[in-house]
Structure 1
Amino acid sequence: MAERILPPGLDATSFDSAIAALKRALGEHKVFDTELDRDTYIDPYALGDGLDHAASAALAPTSVEEVQAIVRIANEHKLPLWPVARGKNLGYGAASPMLAGSAVLDMTRMNQILDVDERYAYATLEPGVGFYQFHEHLTNNNIPLWMSVPANGWGSVLGNALERGIGYTPYGDNTTKLCGLEVVTPTGDIVRTGMGAMEGNKSWAHYPYSFGPSWDQMFVQSNFGVVTKANVWMMPEPELTAHAQVNLPEMEDIKWAMDILADLRLRGIIEHNVVFGNYLHDASAFTTRADWYEGEGPIPDEVAEKIQQTYNVGWWTFHLSIFGEGSLVEAKQKIVSAAFEPKLGKKLEWRNWRKGEPREPFSISVGVPMVLPLNVVNWMGGRGGHIGFSPILPPSGELAYDAFMRRKRRFEEAGLDYYSSFTVGHRHIANVNMILYNRDDADMVSRSRALFTQMIKDAREEGYGEYRTHIDFMQSVAETYDYNDHALMRLNEKVKDALDPNGVIAPGKNGVWPARLREGSK
């Protein structure tokens, strides 16, 4: 149970004074400070009990004005806040704050769909709008626009984009589809980025820049402000999509397949993020490890082969999709088939979706949210959890194979099952190494933590950095970005101190601490 942990610099009297001020400003029904409330915000997949990231309270505003009030009171009392959109950043800490004792600023109740423009294909949303809520709105109102959804669609549309999450349609680089933010600054002011900086501007959702410096990405993965609404570009519903599953039977097949796919991505033939996943993707979504093997150490090769046969997958499997007008899709199908079929030794089997047909069978590839992949947390039994280490690599088959072999050896040394994928973007690949563990097994948790720490070190030595990480490892990952004596971090700290002199917004997020907490935080 989470006993009350106070943030640095606040004693019980000062904290109680801050909570009392917040209750007066918001009403008691929007301030949560009981033990049960604190337990609710503990990371459900924590590598341990999660109390080292326990919140002191949670606040649930329903308007931007209330967010402003919260931020101003936090400044007055030096109460650190940890903003979350819906708190479903699972595998990265969920709603738990980096700094224990912070108050969670939970914007789940700020869930208005403010505008959806069919003609120009954009929406204006508050951070509490979830993928399922938005999908229902689009479906019920027959709006022919598609979201780009992540594998687990439980979370926030804006929250995912602000953490550089991805989806699997051509609009799947979600952070690049933000076009103008409304932000409460760390001192309680409001700023709009892009064209929204002009009062009454009619192009806020149409052009992502402004006059002078453009600040949208400054508020992505940062603690420089609290995003309270944003415009999101959406994909017009296509006439046709074609889908094919590609199974690669051998581990080494990733070399040639990655190079072909990287070329197709670069030339715009394939327009979506493509995930090379190993055989555990399917097995862990539908079964548990005990259904296949109960021995010690990683799954043996013969069990891996049985899994592949059962689910009709390869050692690696990926799915391809092509979107657009019918003749365009057909032309691209021919190009893709000609690229892969000689190496595969067989024809690709394409399935088509046509406008007007149900989309659910095609799920996330056509913008329909699901939560099935979340079942992977049950793989090891007990109170399961997952955490992913995801360095960014150039899109080279040889480099991907080398990284795969290195990470696989580390998993085997740790006695853990190797669950991995390579997400192929426009000009990069994200190598997602997923550690699945049983939180009730202290030894397994310890081995998982040590494995993650080792992979950070290995990737740094190889010249690769992680793009997004769990709160437990934010400091360690930030320290690997060390060019010119950590010049980027020094810049971040200068900006943090200028914008947030009291250090109240998400101290420690991605390794960026305010001056008053900097010493001793690293």
Structure 2
Amino acid sequence: MGSISEVPLLSEKHSGIPQNLLEKAKNAKALIYETRTKETNTRQRLPIIPQGIEKDIFIRALEKLAEQLGKDNVEVNDKPLVDGWYMEHPNTHDMMPILDDEELVASAVVYPSSTEEVQKIVLWANEYSVPIFPISMGRNLGYGGAAPRVRGSVVIDLGKRMSKILDINPDDYTCLVEPGVSFYALHEAIQAKGFAHMWIDIPDLGGGSVIGNTLDRGVGYTPYGDHWACHSGLEVVLPTGEVIRTGMGALPGNNTWQTFPYGFGPYSDGLFSQSNFGIVTKMGMTLMPNPGGHESFMYAFEKEEDLEPLMEIIRPLRIGNILENVAQVRHAIQTIAVKGLPRTKYFSGDGPIPEHVFREQLKKMPIGDHTWLYYGMSYGPPHIRQYKLEIIDKEFKKIPGARKIDPEILPEDEYFWSRDRIAAGVPDLVELLWVNWVPNGAHVAFSPVSPIRGVDAMKLFNLGKRRHDEFGIDFLPAFCVGLREMHLIVEIVYDKNDPAKRKAANDCLREMIDDAAKEGYGEYRTHLVLMDQVADTYNWNDNALMKFNEKLKDALDPNGIMAPGKSGIWPKRYRGRGWEMGKESGAKSEGDGVALTESTKF
């Protein structure tokens, strides 16, 4: 299982932890291994050969690629599948599988060091019709991790050898990074340069790739929380091997690539977000000015039904920028779960934990009994903050029983302080502690989007709760409130070593996706095995959007080698062969072969 004390440092590895978070990382790892009963697989495995390619041809193809990249940079995936944990995650499969371990698994992993080497891999894949699946760092946990959608694909791990911060501009408040740059690494680099006037925006955990998170339209928790909206400029290797730069980057010698995202002509950047139309090897990002002060605050609300009036209060304050950051409204069960202790400490029965049980625990905690917590932050000099905070306090307290929590009563390990750091652009390592809620904890997310309206919040809350009760799963909802929309993020935490628990999580998600679509709500992001179903809900005008995406796919990727199935977009040679996964698919992710291309006919 590996040593509990050994945690990779950022100074030693691109995917490591900063020195100041080392003790937190050690404690987090220890908690995970305390509840892990799944045995490490030690049996030797044969590599998975992708469908449509003969084994001997595939092996020869890998040998040829190794001649171009170096033998150390082409690894056949014939070793035991080790799940690891957040800071020591696999790049061969999903460390939090919702299907069998051997289902979404790579045949090999390759490590390019430059855009030119990415080109070589893409040209090689076209020559041999090998499906490839690029990852930045593989930490897209809850959505598939590093796993490829097509079993036997060759994973291109961009992070290991392409982890340079190419530029940090203290005048323009911008940066240019490669795929292996984590939020930890970018924050540490800015601090090391003494650029205290600049912040970065980070998600709940800082170990993920800046590029990877942005391309998947992830969010952070400062006013710059919409990461895709804050990017400027891409360098992309297309599925046929050509390289383009978008926006101002298409103009040789320009100096505005990271300051103006649009350039001239059609805006093409969106084609490479959540798509399989190219591999992003460089990306520009805007950075936030230090606001000159900040102050976190938290409010507790007593009842489930308080959610509806709370959202009505939040909406105008958020649009008017009185509520400034992407804040969270979290359910009380998460207050307990994020302590990192197993559910059995509080309740050992079957089915969802009873309300009276978790409320008794809440009464013993510093925050006291509640149903919802709002975590927010105000920015600027003291007099500006005071003006905004007084408005917020007056509005929130229109809800009977609403309480502002005094931070001085909260101990150092209270989750509030993690949200305080994150909303100030300081990476942390606390959020995933709730995965320890069950043995062999894994999680998968349900992530629908809606307007910031009370009626929508209650519809989604009741929809999710009903399905969780039906499948016997604890319901852990949180609303992330953007400027004019909100994401409901429901994390289903399950025992990945229990096939029945995996199936219950999968079935519950599939029902919620259909339930939400009937009410007009669509997911903004989803797990690999759910992508076909989610894509199919965006079916206005006889699936006009998917037909458009398929036309683009066939034009840009004529041999169908680039991440087939990503976001439900299948190349022509896979279509109509049973690769799409829906409610009736069960645990099978593969279809019945692929159409041959010229390179696979010899």
- TM-score normalised by length of structure 1: 0.95
- Matches of 2:523 and 2:492, distance apart in 1: 15
- Matches of 2:79 and 2:204, distance apart in 1: 30
Residue correspondences, number: 515
Q: Is the 8 A contact 2:132 2:563 kept in 1?
A: yes
1:43 counterpart = 2:94: yes
Aligned twin of 1:310: 364
Structure 1 residues not aligned, in runs of 5+: 353-358
Find the partner of 1:348 among 395, 404, 412. 404
Q: 1:514 to 1:436 in 2, by over 3 A?
A: same
More helix per residue: 1 or 2?
1
- Matches of 1:415 and 1:384, distance apart in 2: 16
Deviations 1:31-90 (A, max 9, x none): 110412866412111013232211010011111111111111111111111111000101
Aligned twin of 1:503: 560
- Matches of 1:261 and 1:192, distance apart in 2: 39
Measure how far apart 1:371 and its partner are: 2.2
Deviations 1:323-361 (A, max 9, x none): 124432222122212211333556735769xxxxxx988
Deviations 1:403-442 (A, max 9, x none): 2112101111111111111111111111112111111222
Find the partner of 2:376 among 320, 323, 327. 320
1:366 counterpart = 2:424: yes
1:19 counterpart = 2:62: yes
- Counting aligned pairs with the same residue, the percent is 39
| Letter paired with 2:72 | H
Aligned twin of 1:233: 286
Structure 2 residues not aligned, in runs of 5+: 1-40, 83-89, 409-416, 581-602
Measure how far apart 1:401 and its partner are: 1.1
SS at match of 1:328: helix
Deviations 1:445-496 (A, max 9, x none): 2211111111111111111111100011111111111111111000000001
Q: After TM superposition, where is structure 1 displaced by more than 3 Å over at least 4 residues in a row?
A: 37-40, 344-352
1:9 counterpart = 2:52: yes
SS at match of 2:349: coil
Deviations 1:291-326 (A, max 9, x none): 100011111111121232234262111211111244
| Letter paired with 1:468 | R
- Matches of 1:479 and 1:464, distance apart in 2: 13
Find the partner of 2:271 among 205, 218, 221. 218
Aligned twin of 1:83: 134
Measure how far apart 1:516 and its partner are: 1.2
1:157 counterpart = 2:210: yes
- Matches of 2:358 and 2:418, distance apart in 1: 29
Q: Is the 8 A contact 2:418 2:428 kept in 1?
A: no
| Letter paired with 1:267 | G
Find the partner of 1:111 among 151, 158, 163. 163
My pick for the range that moved more, 316-325 or 507-516, is: 316-325
Q: 1:196 to 1:502 in 2, by over 3 A?
A: same
Q: Is the 8 A contact 1:185 1:225 kept in 2?
A: yes
SS at match of 2:431: helix
Q: Is the 8 A contact 1:150 1:364 kept in 2?
A: yes
| Letter paired with 1:124 | L
| Letter paired with 2:394 | A
- Matches of 2:324 and 2:538, distance apart in 1: 30
My pick for the range that moved more, 91-100 or 305-314, is: 305-314
Aligned twin of 1:355: none
SS at match of 1:515: coil
Q: 1:254 to 1:135 in 2, by over 3 A?
A: same
- Superposed counterparts of 1:58-69, under 5 Å: 58-69=109-120
- TM-score normalised by length of structure 2: 0.83
- Matches of 1:115 and 1:350, distance apart in 2: 41
Aligned twin of 1:426: 483
- Matches of 2:81 and 2:561, distance apart in 1: 19
